[in-house]
């Protein structure tokens, strides 16, 4: 297991957002982290990264990492593609990428192969890009470096259907080399990418298993995710 | 006509001081999120260091020493006092408030509350005739320094990796950490830069006003705060533009209106800017 | 038992002017000597001013850096009406306090369009105008840097002269009690809970269908009126208004008082205000005898404050509470 969460709890401003989350992420393929809005998916990712104070235990590659500063954890091979992309709007595309480079040998070849558009728009300010292009920048930032795990938060949120499918295709290719913990609302994307699935409910793990077991059972999907057919 | 030239250059000289203080404040606030009331203390320490050293070693040594003293104070304050309080923004402001009160009192106990005559290079006391106006040369010293500092800051922010980190951090520092960058090292850096610029302002302010007193930093600081808000938090270019507007407005209104009207008009300008554009003059803080 | 502590303190404060007890070290002279009573009166006024400020800072979470403006407006307004316009004292106060409330409403309406640090800076800038005006002495009204002595001809005889210092003490105590009643009344009312809700999460209050802006403005105006009244009382006790009342340093010291005592707690700001004002005056009295920076009250108070932020979050009352729990 590349990542183990044991009894992870987060309290923010008086509310108990995560109440003992426990699950594992295998060292290959895509694991989907699912659940209704507000159950704590994004908070789980941010707690793993050390962006919010948490208790419990997180093991990354066999080492306990909870309480370690975010930047050190990331440098040890944890890539993060945040919700809402968080590209730096005032910086150019090239500057956004340059900032993300961690090692002496950034993998620009892969980035330019997957996103030829970014090379053409290198001098453009990232704030003026479309949502899909910004998502490319956000994903490209983690592909420049060698990572042992990627945390990817709602990469298709707010994108046009055609763009959703190309983002999914990129993630499928990326997942051939590096495991991904994926938060995603679009169940079609989950079905296409994910092997394992973890479902959160009110700050706790409500279900773990394979993605096909979850999505193949309409009743289970409905009770756990609050959606009808998908 | 000669009055207008003199007022313009004097206003720009004042703007230069405001810019030197405000650009550091703005970067510290934009990146580290700290409203730094101790910034006036950095200025005073720089000013007093030069004042103390000038009769001993001459201005050529004393001026760099004053700037270095400001920088060292900035770095020290960040590392010792501010750093333990990240994620507690109100406490950070409070600590800088306490520090500014205690620091000014400390300076007062060492050098007294009365203004001390400030050393300046001989040529800065001369005047240059422009058109029909007799302009004291210290104005050019202030304006020239501010322009050089502005260009150097912009080059640093746009051409270096640390500049890139600072610009990105002003937008979203959590995301900078999430890219594997130790953003706190950049915090120390902006405090050091801010301290150096404040120290420079202290030295130049001493030369411009002809004297230095413990409370000088605090009174300049309030106008610098106004410049920061008008210019947009985190924006160096915004600070420069706002400093020029504020400096000129203050000089002209003070001259043509009643005494003190210029200071009041600056606050009115602030209120207008806030009503019309709550984020300040710079559209996004990120343009640096 | 603990509930009676404020009551015991009140009884002590009421009995104090009748005591001829000397307290060497703490005060020069006996408790009922005019010097000590005036010093205590100033402490009580600052207790009230600090609690009034804490209505904004500790309760509504509004970090105003311009509270001095309203204190100074109260002091100078009253002083000008009494000393220049020769109004009776009560009429001067009755006119000044509502006028300052209107001023607070106007400036607050602008300042509250911003939040957080920008709000702090805007209130600071507005207050700076007050400081500039007071120092420039427009039309000889404010007396400039010298300040404006209060013309005792316009005052009731009971408030004039050293022998009547005890009455100034009563006025100060009455002001403190009024602020305590108002602020604690708000704490107890549903409004108090809404205010702290505002401080913690503005969205939650907006969800309740209440206008956060109006609530904050109302609080700002009330705090401004209390400050004005406190300023008038201060002018009465020290016999005039001085530019220091309008300075940013005064607002900063209010913040220090609130935090030192324990911001947002029932008695924290009062305790902080009284202790701060006492130390400030006492350290000034004995300051000449202390070496170097220790002779500067602000050096000691500023340093204490910085230490308190690190080592005693929750302030003096927080420390006492923890002690109490341990014991």
pLDDT score of C326: 43
A15-25 vs A3-12, strand pairing mode: antiparallel
Task: Please indicate whether, in this complex, the C-beta atoms of B177 and A51 are within 8 angstroms of each other.
Answer: yes
Confidence bin at B88 (pLDDT 50/70/90):
confident
On whether residue B35 sits in a domain, the answer given is yes
pLDDT score of C34: 79
**In this predicted model, what pLDDT tens digit does every residue of A33-69 receive, in sequence order?**
998 888 889 999 999 999 888 999 999 999 999 889 9
Confidence bin at B287 (pLDDT 50/70/90):
very low
Distance of CA C301 to the CA centre of its chain: 16
* B-chain residues near A68 (CB < 8 A): none
User: What's the length of chain A?
Assistant: 230
| Domains located in chain A, CATH noted | 3-77+150-225 (3.40.50.300), 90-146 (no CATH)
Task: Please indicate whether, in this complex, the C-beta atoms of C132 and B99 are within 8 angstroms of each other.
Answer: no
pLDDT score of C321: 64
Nearest CA in chain A to B179: A100
Task: Please indicate whether, in this complex, the C-beta atoms of B167 and A70 are within 8 angstroms of each other.
Answer: no
Task: Give the minimum alpha-carbon distance from B126 to chain C in angstroms, rounded to a whole number.
Answer: 31
On whether residue C79 sits in a domain, the answer given is yes
Q: Does C193 touch chain A (CB under 8 A)?
A: no
Q: To 10 degrees, what angle do helices B183-209 and B161-171 make?
A: 100
- Rounded to the nearest integer, the mean pLDDT of chain A is 90
Nearest CA in chain A to C199: A13
Task: Give the minimum alpha-carbon distance from B213 to chain A in angstroms, rounded to a whole number.
Answer: 41
Q: How many domains are contained in chain C? A: 1
Task: Give the minimum alpha-carbon distance from C118 to chain B in angstroms, rounded to a whole number.
Answer: 7
Task: Please indicate whether, in this complex, the C-beta atoms of B259 and C310 are within 8 angstroms of each other.
Answer: no
Task: Give the minimum alpha-carbon distance from C61 to chain A in angstroms, rounded to a whole number.
Answer: 15
* C-chain residues near B263 (CB < 8 A): 128-129, 132
Identify whether the C-beta of residue B220 lies closer than 8 Å to the C-beta of residue B56.
Answer: no
* C-chain residues near A14 (CB < 8 A): 200
- Rounded to the nearest integer, the mean pLDDT of chain B is 88
Task: Give the minimum alpha-carbon distance from C136 to chain A in angstroms, rounded to a whole number.
Answer: 44
Task: Please indicate whether, in this complex, the C-beta atoms of B228 and C121 are within 8 angstroms of each other.
Answer: yes
On whether residue B140 sits in a domain, the answer given is yes
Q: What is the ipTM of this complex?
A: 0.90
Residues B209-237, buried b or exposed e (16+ Cβ, 10 A)?
A: bebbbbbbbbebbbbbbbbbbbbbbbbbb
Does B219 score more than 80 pLDDT? no
Size of interface B-C (CB pairs under 8 A): 120
Q: Does C201 touch chain A (CB under 8 A)?
A: yes
Instruction: Return the biggest CA–CA distance within chain C.
Output: 61
Confidence bin at A190 (pLDDT 50/70/90):
very high
pLDDT score of C319: 67
* B-chain residues near C293 (CB < 8 A): 105-106, 109-110
Angstrom distance (rounded) from CA C144 to CA C149: 11
On whether residue C221 sits in a domain, the answer given is yes
Chains touching chain B at 3 or more Cβ pairs under 8 angstroms? Answer: A, C
Angstrom distance (rounded) from CA C79 to CA C85: 9
On whether residue B231 sits in a domain, the answer given is no
* A-chain residues near C200 (CB < 8 A): 13-14
Better-predicted residue by pLDDT, A20 or C12: A20
On whether residue C146 sits in a domain, the answer given is yes
Task: Please indicate whether, in this complex, the C-beta atoms of B286 and A127 are within 8 angstroms of each other.
Answer: yes
Label residue C26 exposed, middle or buried (CB < 10 Å: 0-12, 13-18, 19+): exposed
Of C81, C150, C243, nearest to C159 (Cα)?
Answer: C150
pLDDT score of C194: 74
Identify whether the C-beta of residue B143 lies closer than 8 Å to the C-beta of residue B16.
Answer: yes
Does A119 score more than 80 pLDDT? yes
Angstrom distance (rounded) from CA B41 to CA A39: 47
**In this predicted model, what pLDDT tens digit does every residue of B161-218 receive, in sequence order?**
999 999 999 888 889 999 999 988 899 999 999 999 999 999 999 999 889 988 888 7
pLDDT score of B197: 96
CA distances from C214 to C108, C192, C200 (A): 10, 14, 17
Along the 327 residues of chain C, how does pLDDT read in single tens digits? Answer: 567 788 888 877 777 777 777 777 777 777 777 788 888 899 999 999 999 999 998 888 888 989 999 999 999 999 999 998 889 989 999 999 999 999 999 999 988 887 777 788 889 888 888 888 888 887 788 888 888 888 877 788 777 777 788 888 899 999 999 999 999 888 887 777 777 776 766 655 555 556 778 888 999 999 999 999 999 999 999 988 998 899 888 998 898 888 888 888 888 889 889 988 888 888 877 766 667 777 777 888 888 888 888 887 767 776 666 655 443
On whether residue C303 sits in a domain, the answer given is no
Q: Which residues of C touch B (CB under 8 A)?
A: 63, 110, 113-114, 117-118, 120-122, 124-126, 128-129, 132-133, 135-136, 138, 248-249, 252-253, 255-256, 259, 292-293, 295-299, 301-303, 305-306, 309-310, 313
On whether residue C8 sits in a domain, the answer given is no
Q: Does B105 touch chain C (CB under 8 A)?
A: yes
pLDDT score of C204: 58
Identify whether the C-beta of residue C194 lies closer than 8 Å to the C-beta of residue C208.
Answer: yes
* C-chain residues near B95 (CB < 8 A): 306, 309-310
Does A102 score more than 80 pLDDT? yes
Domain that holds residue C240: 35-252
Q: Helix/strand/coil (H, E, C) string of C193-246?
A: HHHHHHHHCHHHHHHCCCCHHHHHHHHHHHHHHHHHHHHHHHHHHHCEECHHHH
On whether residue C69 sits in a domain, the answer given is yes
Task: Please indicate whether, in this complex, the C-beta atoms of B229 and C118 are within 8 angstroms of each other.
Answer: yes
Q: How many domains are contained in chain B? A: 1
Which of B177, B179, B288 lies at the smallest CB-CB distance from A100? B179
Task: Please indicate whether, in this complex, the C-beta atoms of A69 and B182 are within 8 angstroms of each other.
Answer: yes
On whether residue C169 sits in a domain, the answer given is yes
pLDDT score of C323: 57
Domain that holds residue B151: 2-217
Angstrom distance (rounded) from CA B226 to CA C126: 10
């Amino acid at each position: 297991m590349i990542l183990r969460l044991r009894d992870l709890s987060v309290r923010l401003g008086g509310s108990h957002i995560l109440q003992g989350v426990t699950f594992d992420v295998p060292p290959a393929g895509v694991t989907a982290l699912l659940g209704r809005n507000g159950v704590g998916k994004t908070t789980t990712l941010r707690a793993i990264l050390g962006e919010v104070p948490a208790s419990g235990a997180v093991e990354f590659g066999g080492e306990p990492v909870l309480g370690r500063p975010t930047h050190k954890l990331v440098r040890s091979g944890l890539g993060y593609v945040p919700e809402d992309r968080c590209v730096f709007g005032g910086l150019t595309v090239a500057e956004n990428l340059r900032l993300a480079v961690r090692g002496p040998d950034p993998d620009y070849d892969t980035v330019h192969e997957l996103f030829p558009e970014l090379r053409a728009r290198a001098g453009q300010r990232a704030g003026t890009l479309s949502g899909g292009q910004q998502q490319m920048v956000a994903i490209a930032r983690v592909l420049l470096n060698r990572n042992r795990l990627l945390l990817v938060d709602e990469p298709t949120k707010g994108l046009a259907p055609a763009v959703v499918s190309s983002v999914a295709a990129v993630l499928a290719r990326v997942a051939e080399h590096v495991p991904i913990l994926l938060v995603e609302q679009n169940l079609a994307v989950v079905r296409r990418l994910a092997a394992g699935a973890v479902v959160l409910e009110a700050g706790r793990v409500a279900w773990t298993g394979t993605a096909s077991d979850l999505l193949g059972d309409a009743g289970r999907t409905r009770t756990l995710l609050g959606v009808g057919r998908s | 006509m000669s009055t207008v030239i003199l007022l313009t250059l004097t206003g720009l000289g004042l703007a230069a001081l405001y810019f030197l203080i405000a650009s550091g404040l703005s970067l510290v606030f934009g990146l580290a999120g700290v409203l730094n009331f101790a910034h006036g203390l950095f200025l005073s320490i720089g000013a007093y260091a030069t004042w103390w050293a000038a009769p001993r070693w001459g201005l050529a040594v004393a001026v760099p020493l004053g700037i270095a003293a400001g920088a060292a104070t900035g770095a020290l304050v960040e590392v010792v006092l501010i750093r333990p309080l990240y994620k507690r923004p109100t406490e950070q402001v409070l600590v800088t408030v306490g520090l500014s009160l205690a620091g000014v009192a400390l300076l007062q106990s060492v050098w007294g509350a009365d203004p001390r005559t400030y050393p300046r290079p001989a040529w800065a006391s001369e005047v240059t005739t422009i058109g029909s106006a007799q302009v004291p040369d210290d104005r050019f010293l202030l304006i020239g320094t501010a322009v050089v500092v502005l260009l150097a800051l912009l080059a640093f922010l746009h051409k270096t990796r640390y500049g890139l980190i600072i610009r990105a951090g002003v937008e979203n520092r959590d995301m900078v950490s999430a890219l594997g960058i130790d953003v706190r090292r950049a915090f120390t850096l902006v405090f050091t830069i801010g301290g150096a610029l404040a120290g420079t302002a202290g030295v130049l302010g001493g030369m411009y006003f002809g004297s230095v007193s413990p409370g000088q930093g605090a009174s300049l600081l309030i106008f610098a705060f106004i410049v920061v808000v008008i210019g947009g938090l985190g924006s160096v270019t915004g600070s420069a533009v706002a400093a020029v507007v504020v400096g000129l407005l203050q000089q002209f209104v003070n001259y043509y209106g009643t005494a003190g009207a210029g200071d009041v008009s600056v606050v009115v300008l602030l209120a207008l800017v806030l009503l019309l554009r709550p984020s300040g003059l710079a559209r996004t803080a990120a343009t640096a | 038992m603990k509930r009676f502590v404020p009551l015991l303190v009140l009884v002590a404060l009421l009995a104090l002017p009748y005591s001829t007890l000397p307290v060497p070290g703490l005060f020069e002279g006996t408790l009922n000597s005019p010097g000590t009573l005036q010093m205590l009166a100033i402490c009580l006024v600052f207790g009230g001013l600090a609690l009034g400020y804490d209505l904004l800072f500790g309760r509504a979470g509004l970090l105003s850096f311009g509270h001095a403006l309203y204190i100074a407006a109260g002091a100078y307004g009253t002083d000008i009406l009494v000393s220049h316009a020769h109004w009776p004292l009560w009429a001067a106060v009755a006119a000044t306090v509502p006028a300052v409330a209107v001023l607070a409403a106007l400036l607050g309406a602008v300042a509250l369009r911003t939040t957080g640090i920008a709000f702090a800076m805007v209130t600071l800038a507005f207050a700076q105008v007050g400081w500039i005006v007071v120092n420039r002495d427009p039309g000889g009204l404010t007396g400039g840097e010298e300040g404006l002595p209060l013309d005792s001809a316009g005052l009731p005889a009971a408030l004039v002269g050293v022998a009547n210092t005890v009455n100034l003490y009563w006025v100060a105590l009455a002001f403190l009690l009024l602020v305590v009643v108002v602020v604690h009344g708000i704490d107890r009312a549903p409004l108090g809970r809404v205010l702290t809700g505002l401080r913690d999460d503005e969205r939650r209050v907006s969800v309740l269908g209440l206008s956060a802006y109006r609530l904050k403005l109302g609080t700002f105006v009330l705090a401004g009126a209390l400050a004005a009244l406190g300023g008038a009382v201060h002018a009465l006790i020290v016999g005039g208004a001085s530019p220091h009342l309008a300075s940013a340093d005064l607002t900063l010291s209010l913040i220090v008082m609130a935090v030192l005592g324990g911001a947002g707690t029932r008695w924290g700001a009062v305790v902080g205000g009284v202790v701060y004002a006492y130390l400030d005056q006492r350290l000034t009295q004995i300051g000449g005898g202390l070496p170097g920076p220790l002779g500067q009250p602000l050096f000691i108070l500023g340093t204490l404050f910085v230490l308190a932020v690190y080592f005693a979050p929750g302030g003096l009352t927080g420390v006492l509470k923890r002690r109490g729990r341990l014991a």
